[in-house]
Amino acid sequence: MARPARVSPDRILAAAALEFAERGFAGARVDRIARRARVNKAMLYYHFKSKDGLYRTLLRRMFTLAAGRLRAIADASAPHADKVDRVIATMAAFVDEHAFFPAIMLREVADGGAHLDRETLTALAALPAAVGGIVQQGVRARAFRDTPPMFAYFSMLAPVIFYLAGARIRKEIAHLKVVDMRESSTDDFIRHMQHATRRSLARARHARTS
Amino acid sequence: MARPARVSPDRILAAAALEFAERGFAGARVDRIARRARVNKAMLYYHFKSKDGLYRTLLRRMFTLAAGRLRAIADASAPHADKVDRVIATMAAFVDEHAFFPAIMLREVADGGAHLDRETLTALAALPAAVGGIVQQGVRARAFRDTPPMFAYFSMLAPVIFYLAGARIRKEIAHLKVVDMRESSTDDFIRHMQHATRRSLARARHARTS
DNA sequence: GTCTATACTTCGATAGAC
DNA sequence: GTCTATCGAAGTATAGAC
């Protein structure tokens, strides 16, 4: 898959990730992707057939990779609350490696999956499935209060995605100096989300505070 | 503002809201907006000068309206925890009236505010400012645990926006039947977020459970 | 696999009559 | 304020040589 023989497809995917994240599917320009990947545009069509094909390939990869890591947490043996901590930390780490992920995620939600085929949509569905499964484990073991898994999924990951995707606009807003938007560290925010999620899922009084 | 004399601009704005929410700025088509508004395309340019101008006018209105409601909560006299409940309920109600809001919000965050001028960006900044102010009130009154206002802003509103914007893609995913995505009521989700936020901000043990 | 050149389409925007 | 007609710029995609 990452054979040294065919670097073009991988370089194209990397360039596409940046372009799609920055501009969205409609705003992305095939010429720009080709230029960023330092390949000829015809090469891009040779490998991926169309802008749509490239987009879907990229997203399928991305979703599959992320879902795999989440599923690994689900399958591991650990206290339920720790698994939730790991879900949040893992998503943050994933974004750290793939900075384009959150923006693409936001756009895809807003688009209602308009450009996704059945296969890519299935790959995306594996994300809430994995996280929902972890929550369900905890609820069944009576470690968590009874919570719809999808509610927990949204309340723990939406802020992470939103916050990480919003780095640029926060900087713009901070620049206006009309709000106190001083950038605190991403790590602090992740810890905040872990604590908030623990407290939200805890049955009686919340877990340790730090 | 809603004078019967000039219906065109308002109809155009309403049509633009739908189009921009569904397709994003780059994906939106001026012809389609004009057709949806049942006005001539030249009319649209007469009133708004450009696609950009239309977009900014729409967003400025939207942000200003939403921020006004949030500021009203901040200025009201009520227990701090109740204000937080109201922030969440108010955003949900706002989206109920303006269904296009969450999608546009997601896209704008992903875009990093690329199409926004200074004035529109300032209008947007009023949202976190209002919510952050409410949190700060609570922290200073020692009703809430010490929490960076922006962290609280993201953890309480990002899920609401995300969940409401994601109605379409959730339906798509539910249709695949690979995950249990059964649609529970939006009201239930809002209540979930209110409880989760209360628990997250509570100083010692959390507030009432129901 | 790689490139150049270009066909074909769509879109934002405006000119100019009424 | 309103409409028709159209320009010019981009943009996706492909043909065809190497």
Contacts of B158 in chain A (CB under 8 A): 158-159, 161-163
Structure tokens at A140: 């069944």
pLDDT given for residue B67 in this prediction: 98
Q: How far apart are CA A31 and CA A39, in angstroms?
A: 10
Sign of CA dihedral B58, B193, B151, B198: positive
Q: Is the CB of A29 under 7 A from strand D?
A: yes
pLDDT given for residue A1 in this prediction: 47
Asked if the Cβ–Cβ distance from A107 to B103 is below 8 Å, we say no
**Is the pLDDT at A45 greater than 80, yes or no?**
yes
**Is the pLDDT at A191 greater than 90, yes or no?**
yes
Query: Looking at the structure, do residues B129 and B99 belong to the same domain, yes or no?
Result: yes
- Give the CATH number of the domain where residue B161 resides: 1.10.357.10
Sign of CA dihedral B30, B33, B38, B43: negative
Question: Contact, A62 vs A94, CB < 8 A?
Answer: no
Query: Looking at the structure, do residues B75 and B27 belong to the same domain, yes or no?
Result: no
Query: Looking at the structure, do residues A30 and A60 belong to the same domain, yes or no?
Result: no
Asked if the Cβ–Cβ distance from B109 to A108 is below 8 Å, we say no
Query: Looking at the structure, do residues A134 and A72 belong to the same domain, yes or no?
Result: yes
Which positions of strand D lie within 7 Å of protein CB atoms?
Answer: 1-5, 11-16
Query: Looking at the structure, do residues A91 and A6 belong to the same domain, yes or no?
Result: no
* Boundary residue ending a domain (A49, A71, A89): A49
- Give the CATH number of the domain where residue B2 resides: 1.10.10.60
**Is the pLDDT at B4 greater than 60, yes or no?**
no
Q: Does B172 touch chain A (CB under 8 A)?
A: yes
pLDDT given for residue B6 in this prediction: 67
Nearest CA in chain B to A163: B154
Query: Looking at the structure, do residues B116 and B132 belong to the same domain, yes or no?
Result: yes
CB proximity under 8 Å: A 119-158 to B: 121-122, 124-126, 128-129, 132, 147-151, 154-155, 158
Q: Is the CB of A43 under 7 A from strand C?
A: yes
Query: Looking at the structure, do residues B136 and B187 belong to the same domain, yes or no?
Result: yes
Query: Looking at the structure, do residues B88 and B166 belong to the same domain, yes or no?
Result: yes
Residue nearest to nucleotide C15 (CA to C1'): B42
Q: How far apart are CA B96 and CA B125, in angstroms?
A: 22
pLDDT tens figures, B65-118: 999 999 999 999 999 999 999 999 999 999 999 999 999 999 999 999 999 999
pTM above 0.85, yes or no: yes
Query: Looking at the structure, do residues A44 and A78 belong to the same domain, yes or no?
Result: no
Split at pLDDT 50, 70, 90, the class of A6 is low
Task: Give the up-direction half-sphere exposure of residue A62: CA atoms within 13 A in the CB hemisphere.
Answer: 29
Query: Looking at the structure, do residues B29 and B63 belong to the same domain, yes or no?
Result: no
Which conformational region is residue A24 in: left (phi greater than 0), alpha (psi within -120 to 50 degrees), or beta?
left
Q: How far apart are CA B127 and CA B70, in angstroms?
A: 7
Question: Contact, A201 vs A144, CB < 8 A?
Answer: yes
- Provide the total of helices (H) and of strands (E) in chain B, helices listed first: 10, 0
- Degrees, nearest 5: CA angle A189-B200-B149: 50
The shortest CB-CB distance from B206 to any of A108, A124, A199 is to A199
pLDDT given for residue B207 in this prediction: 46
Query: Looking at the structure, do residues B79 and B7 belong to the same domain, yes or no?
Result: no
The shortest CB-CB distance from A172 to any of B110, B121, B163 is to B121
Query: Looking at the structure, do residues A115 and A187 belong to the same domain, yes or no?
Result: yes
Q: How far apart are CA B99 and CA A137, in angstroms?
A: 34
Q: How far apart are CA A37 and CA B59, in angstroms?
A: 34
Instruction: Find the domain containing B27 and state its range.
Output: 1-49
Could you give the 3-state DSSP secondary structure of residue A144?
strand
**What's the total number of domains in chain A?**
2
**Is the pLDDT at B183 greater than 90, yes or no?**
no
* Boundary residue ending a domain (B49, B69, B84): B49
Burial of residue A42 (CB within 10 Å: 0-12, 13-18, 19+) is exposed
**Is the pLDDT at A128 greater than 50, yes or no?**
yes
Q: How far apart are CA B11 and CA B62, in angstroms?
A: 15
Q: Which amino acid is at B22?
A: E
Q: Does B27 touch chain A (CB under 8 A)?
A: yes
